[in-house]
A and B are shown apart, each in its own frame.
Chain A
Amino acid sequence: MVSIFIDGQKFDVPAGITLAGALYMLGKRIMRHTPRDQNPRSIFCGMGVCYDCVVVVDGQANIRACQTEVRPDMRVVTQRGEPKLEHSF
């Protein structure tokens, strides 16, 4: 198991799972809210093409949850609107 932080809360998830898998496993299907209408989105194509499941990972925005494997102490923030590039501050 690996510990990751999702919106500030700590969770233990299976090693080697993708972030999308981990979020789904935890019942957190809503991965972001869209910039224009603030509508909820989740995993859609599952193969890295649609960019619907993007989240902020360790300060980097627009990271595809379906293509990202969990790492210990990864900080994940579900996205709201246009992300700020946090890593630059």
Chain B
Amino acid sequence: MSKPELLIVGGGPAGMSAAIEAASHGVRCCIVDEGRELGGQIYRDAHAIEREASPDLINPRGDELRKQLAALTNLIEVRSDSMIWGISDGNKVAVGKEASGTEFITPAAMIMATGAYEYIPPFPGWTLPGVMTPGSAQILAKNLNVMPGNRIVVAGTGPLLYVVASQLVQKGINVVAVLEATQRRDWLKVPFAGWQAWELLKEGFGYLRVLRRAGVPVYYGRIVTHAEGDAELSHIYHAPVDKNWFPDRDKEECLEVDTLCIGYGLQSRNYLAQLAGCKIEFDELGGGWVLQRDKRLRTSQPNIYAAGDGAGVAGSKIAELEGRLAGLDVAASLGHIDAEKLQQKNKPLQRELERFSSLKNTFARLTRIRPGLTELVDTDTIVCRCEEVRWKEAKEAIEHGGHDFRTLKVMTRLGMGMCQARFCWPPMARIVAQYKGCDISEVGPVRPRPPIRPVRLDVIAEAQSNQTQETE
């Protein structure tokens, strides 16, 4: 295929939808994705194991999108098992692949559809084997037919808890309880605020029904304060919280479990966009540091768009719609469709987006991270899992004047590990802000540098310019 006009980063709902929309108007696209098959985290391609063991838990939407995409193969090049590790001058993109090296691609436009990952604040015991994200448990149980544990508590906040808990139940696993940090009275607002997005509400009630039938108790307004175990998790402690999620330690209760699935919603993956020069801002309701975008979903960098959770957490429905809108806008800006057609195509998508926005905003308010979570850390709690930095070390560094990522990093090694600060810094930034009594924007984000994911040295060394560029 000749040089792609549009490079789409990430093959989840936003990326696939963007490619389908853009290619259907004649735009030559290339999707780069880390996975073996497109689908992203939510529409992860069902493995043979899953198709056999959990057929009724498979979301059909992934297969639908993959099918639509397959019909456009003459215009969509899919680079799976690939990762973009760097970008220079805003558009010179380093696409790496194990065993074959790096190719530099210079597209006319890019859509960042990089998705999201879970937010977990540090708390005592959170590094014990047996403590994992809900997404992790979902992959084990649903995709791989492996039981994550025999007695599981699902805790945190947000819709994903109920999806995962109900799937675990359907896989026959003993879910001891669901602990939701937000109060029940707040959740009761959801049906009123989100009635327009009736299909999502229906889906949500379905999960709750599964839990109710299985007799799984859902406790609202409770958080896990700490976890214990010798070499592996054996107990968790949970307590009721006030509206700012500060736990009442006197009312702490203990549960004997071997697995804790814990996640407090999602946060955007936007290191690559930042590296490309796209501006970010802190948005509590978007899951933390999110990309600045205009109405056309363009970032602050010309010709770079962002769609879906990678731009600001909003869920898969909105991700698909944003992907299509961005793909459409690219088609227009590259001259494949005229302004009139853009307008005509754009309108219904915008209306649909509007329909989901009220529910999205309600969820965002309900599940926003509250300050009580930042006070779970104890002196010896690991705050950086990679480099094993403890809270007492970070606290000492803060007291010596370390107040942003760079200084804490050089003082403590926090964030210098393989996850490249993706897990330590978002909660740590909140902890620092709260400790110093300042705004989180003063503490600031990570400034990513290439490679934005750990990458084998050979992949960097074997670099060449895109040959298809020359053949054009």
A and B touch in the complex (CB under 8 A): yes
What A residues does B417 contact at CB under 8 A? 51
Question: Smallest Cβ distance from B152 to chain A, in angstroms?
Answer: 13
**Stretch in B41-49, B204-212, B430-438 touching the partner:** B41-49
Question: Quick check: A40 and B232 within 8 Å, CB to CB?
Answer: yes
In the complex, A80 has a CB within 8 A of chain B: no
CB pair A47–B146 under 8 Å, yes or no, is: no
The contact of A16 among B47, B128, B385, by CB within 8 Å, is B47
Bound Cα distance A66, B419 (Å): 14
Interface bits B404-424 vs A (CB < 8 Å: 1, else 0)? 000000000000011100110
Give the shortest distance, in Å, between B48 (CB) and chain A (any CB).
Answer: 6
Q: Is the CB of B49 within 8 A of A17?
A: yes
Contact with B along A57-76 (1 / 0, CB 8 A): 00000100010000000000
Interface size on A, residues (CB 8 A): 32
Q: Given contacts A30-B129, A46-B140, are A51 and B419 in contact (CB under 8 A)?
A: yes
In this complex, the member of B146, B147, B232, B387 whose beta carbon has the largest number of chain A beta carbons within 10 angstroms is: B146
Residues of chain B lying within 8 A (CB to CB) of residue A62? 418, 454
CA distance A21 to B133 in the complex (A): 15
Q: Are the C-beta atoms of A45 and B128 separated by less than 8 Å?
A: no
Q: Find chain A residues with CB under 8 A from B459 CB.
A: none
Complex interface: chain A residues within 8 A of B423 (CB): 45, 49-50
Rounded to whole Å, the gap between the CB of A20 and the closest CB of chain B is 8
Chain B residue contacts of A20, Cβ below 8 A: 140
Chain B interface size range: 35 or more
Partner of A21 from B41, B128, B146, B387 at Cβ < 8 Å: B146
Min distance, Cβ A86 to any Cβ of chain B, angstroms? 16
Cα A24 to Cα B152 in complex, Å, equals 15
A14 to B47, CA, bound (A): 12
Neighbouring A residues of B91 by C-beta, 8 Å: none
Min CB distance, A79 to chain B, in Å?
12
Asked if A47 and B148 make an inter-chain contact with CB atoms under 8 angstroms apart, the answer reads no
Is residue B180 contacting chain A, with contact meaning CB distance below 8 A?
no
What separation, in Å, do the CA atoms of A79 and B145 have in the docked complex? 25
Contact assessment for B422 and A49 in the assembled complex, using a CB-CB cutoff below 8 Å: yes
Return chain B residues, CB-CB under 8 Å to A34: 388
- For window 40-56 of A, CB contacts with B under 8 Å fall at 40-52, 54
Cβ < 8 Å to A, chain B residues 414-462: 417-419, 422-423, 454
Contacts of B48 in A (CB 8 A): 16
Report whether A17 and B128 are in contact in the complex, using a CB–CB cutoff of 8 Å.
no
Residues from 9 to 34 in A contacting B, C-beta threshold 8 Å:
14, 16-18, 20-21, 24-25, 29-31, 34
Contact residues of A with B, CB < 8 Å?
14, 16-18, 20-21, 24-25, 29-31, 34-37, 39-52, 54, 62, 66
**27 A-B Cβ contacts within 8 A?**
A16-B49, A21-B139, A21-B146, A24-B140, A25-B146, A29-B129, A29-B232, A30-B129, A34-B388, A35-B388, A41-B127, A41-B129, A41-B385, A44-B131, A44-B132, A45-B132, A46-B132, A46-B136, A49-B269, A49-B422, A49-B423, A50-B419, A51-B417, A52-B127, A54-B418, A62-B454, A66-B136
